[in-house]
Amino acid sequence: MIELAILGVLREQDLHGYELRKRICEVTGARSAISFGSLYPALARLEASGSVKTVEAIPSGPTKPAPMTGSLSAETSMFRARRRTVKPARGGRGRKVYGITSAGEHVLESLLDDPTLDDKSFHIKVAFCRYLTPARRLELFERRRARVADQLIAARTTRRRTGERLDSYLRSLREHDHESTERDLAWLDRLIAEERALLAAPAEPVDEGPPPVLDPTGGSPS
Amino acid sequence: MIELAILGVLREQDLHGYELRKRICEVTGARSAISFGSLYPALARLEASGSVKTVEAIPSGPTKPAPMTGSLSAETSMFRARRRTVKPARGGRGRKVYGITSAGEHVLESLLDDPTLDDKSFHIKVAFCRYLTPARRLELFERRRARVADQLIAARTTRRRTGERLDSYLRSLREHDHESTERDLAWLDRLIAEERALLAAPAEPVDEGPPPVLDPTGGSPS
DNA sequence: GTCATCATGTAAGCCGTTACATGATTGC
DNA sequence: GCAATCATGTAACGGCTTACATGATGAC
């Protein structure tokens, strides 16, 4: 999943590892913070497989290599580096700026499509689902919905079986859990409804160019 | 964390591995299902360290070794096994029933006290927190509360920094996440309030039964 | 007798972590 | 110069999963 996060962030802008990590934490939330010990090897793998490449740290390129970190010191640092004409950009052990390749973009799509749908994976996938076509995005939401619905049913069954012989903490835990799951389900339903509306009425070209395929064969699959 | 779940379940009743796993899934929810590939080695480790021991599969012992699984076939199987006087209880490759030792009970307590408080760990700890003293339990809740509160603050800060330049999915994700975290916090506050009430007025020694504490001191919390 | 289920275990491997090593840059 | 931060990497290890191997038991 770490490759998904990396590619998802790089898809928006070129970054070096250190900044990349910060962006990943920002985007996917603190709960899925990753460590450098897994980030750098992952970047090396992705580079070896051709999904990302190192790009020169162009001072003002097409993808804004100085990404307004918000951190004062970092910005200052970048500024100085630029003033010094980026000369240590790849000396001995300088910073390496990575960019996504077109192969990488395909890998990103296939990672978004892969069937793993646990809590964490889904979270990350939603964060980058804008890179999916509306149809595939809808499918992603619906598969997750099915899974959460299953969990809910299973939980209800278990509750019936174990009856009321639970201590108060376990009962409170279960109740809170159950409510959370129901809220998740409601959220997914909202996402799905919005996505369906988008698919049904693709009036404006939304983002990357969604397929406005709208065959009038009368098929309205629910 | 798997040892915590094992000890927590065994603390209530002796079980063999297969049943143990089912109970763990029931108690901690399907989200933290564990596999046999981790269960059996963990049991071996716990046995080696003296936290659990194998007990003879006594047909009707003090801890109910035939625990009403609810599964018809399983119950029938147990029944037959009992009728056959449990003789294959430890032949070649029969079932091994485990029980917690007093050393294991101490290990359980220390595991419940350990400072790891991520989502999953806390979930499991709450499931077995009845084995903590009220004071330690309160501390557990409060430490978790502090952590969740920190997350909330961090998320708010990040949101301010990244501003509104987010696509709709990311925005929805963040919003849903934020609400979930706030609900978690509210739940923790309820747990803490109840625990404080319990500490303040330890009228009845509450144990396995639900506290019918209904003091007419005018205090109607919640 | 054969199949499904119950039951225990081992081995390989994945995915991530922590801890450590290294070095550039900059503020003071 | 020195400390803090930025920045990249490696090594060892941990915990859990999947896949596999084995075998008992009972239903039919």
Q: Would you say the C-beta of A77 is within 7 Å of strand C?
A: yes
Q: Cα(A146)–Cα(B21) distance, rounded to whole angstroms? A: 25
pLDDT at res. A30: 84
Bridge partners for A55 per DSSP? A97
Cα–chain center distance at A9: 8
Q: Which nucleotide is nearest to A73 (CA to C1')?
A: D5
- Local confidence pLDDT in tens for the 222 residues of chain B: 999 999 999 999 999 999 999 999 989 988 889 999 999 999 999 999 999 999 976 543 333 333 444 344 444 444 443 333 333 444 446 789 999 999 999 999 999 999 999 999 999 999 999 999 999 999 999 999 999 999 999 888 888 877 677 899 999 999 999 999 999 999 999 999 999 999 887 666 555 555 554 444 444 443
- A177 CA, C18 C1': Å apart: 31
The residue behind tokens 């109970």 is: B23
Q: What is the rounded CA–CA span in Å between residue B96 and residue B86?
A: 12
In 3D space, the residue among A111, A96, A79, A92 whose CA is nearest the CA of residue A14 turns out to be A96
Which H helix or E strand runs over B23? helix B17-28
Assign A76 a pLDDT band (cuts: 50, 70, 90): very low
The alpha carbon of residue B26 is apart from the nearest alpha carbon of chain A, in Å, by: 7
Q: Is the CA virtual torsion B4, B9, B12, B15 positive or negative?
A: negative
Is the Cβ–Cβ distance between B97 and B56 less than 8 Å?
A: yes
Which of B145, B119, B169, B182 shows the shortest CA–CA distance to A27? B169
Question: If you count residue pairs, one on A and one on B, with CB atoms under 8 Å apart, how many are there?
Answer: 77
Residue A60 has pLDDT above 70, yes or no: no
Mean pLDDT of the region A150-174: 87
Chain D nucleotides reached by a protein CB under 7 Å: 5-12, 15-20, 22-27
H or E segment at A52? strand A52-55
The verdict on a CB contact (< 8 Å) between A127 and B177 is: no
Q: What are phi and psi of B59, to 5 degrees?
A: -55, -40
